[in-house]
Amino acid sequence: MMHQDVAVPVLVVDDQRPFRMAAAAVLRRAEGFDLVGEAETGEQALEQVASLHPRLVLMDINMPGISGIEATRQIVAEAPGTVVFLCSTYQLADLPEDAHTSGAAAYVNKEELAPGVLRRLWDERNGDGTLHTL
């Protein structure tokens, strides 16, 4: 069992409560990750990142207010140590074009989010601003 102090603090951002609950369940089963907060909008995500300092943000793309892509751009600019994984139901080919330039480290389809996927994306995340997928 890993010590809590080395767990990656994670913020889950999605306007749909069922997905936030599902993501929280995945995080509970994923060794080395710790859910530290949830947000329903991009604006809330920016506030939470500033106050909670997560190392990883699971970010929905389509939300009311500023989009997940715009929120990602601002998070990466304002908190460069924060890693953002975009999460949505898009197939990779259908991702909005600006997702690839948002600064997100990875994209995962919501239906494929699982402890092993999360761990692999975290371990293989790209530091070069390109969007990593499995």
What's CA 80's distance to the chain center, in Å?
14
Token representation of residue 69: 């892509």
Can you give the pLDDT at residue 10?
98
Per-residue exposure over 29-65, b if at least 16 CB sit within 10 Å of its own CB, e if not: ebebbbbbbbbbbbebbbebbeeeebbbbbbbbebee
> Could you tell me what percentage of the chain is helix, strand and coil, using 3-state DSSP and rounding each to the nearest 5?
45, 20, 35
Does some domain include residue 6? no
pLDDT at position 1 is 47
Please determine, for residue 3, whether its predicted confidence score (pLDDT) is greater than 70.
Answer: no
Query: How many Cα neighbours within 13 Å face the side chain of 82?
Result: 27
For residue 69, pLDDT over 80 is answered with yes
What pLDDT is recorded for position 68? 97
pLDDT classification of 4: cutoffs 50, 70, 90:
very low
- What confidence score (pLDDT) does residue 119 get? 93
Please determine, for residue 15, whether its predicted confidence score (pLDDT) is greater than 60: yes
Question: Is 128's pLDDT higher than 70?
Answer: no
49 within 8 A of 6, measured Cβ to Cβ: no
pLDDT at residue 130 greater than cutoff 80: no
Domain contains 5: no
Tell me the two tokens of residue 94: 């259908």
| Overall domain count for the chain | 1
Domain-embedded: residue 117: yes
The answer to whether residue 53 sits within a structural domain is yes
Domain assignment present for 20 = yes
Q: Domain range spanning residue 74?
A: 15-36+43-59+68-124
CATH code at 76?
Answer: 3.40.50.2300
Q: What is the band of 40 on the pLDDT scale with cuts at 50, 70, 90?
A: very high
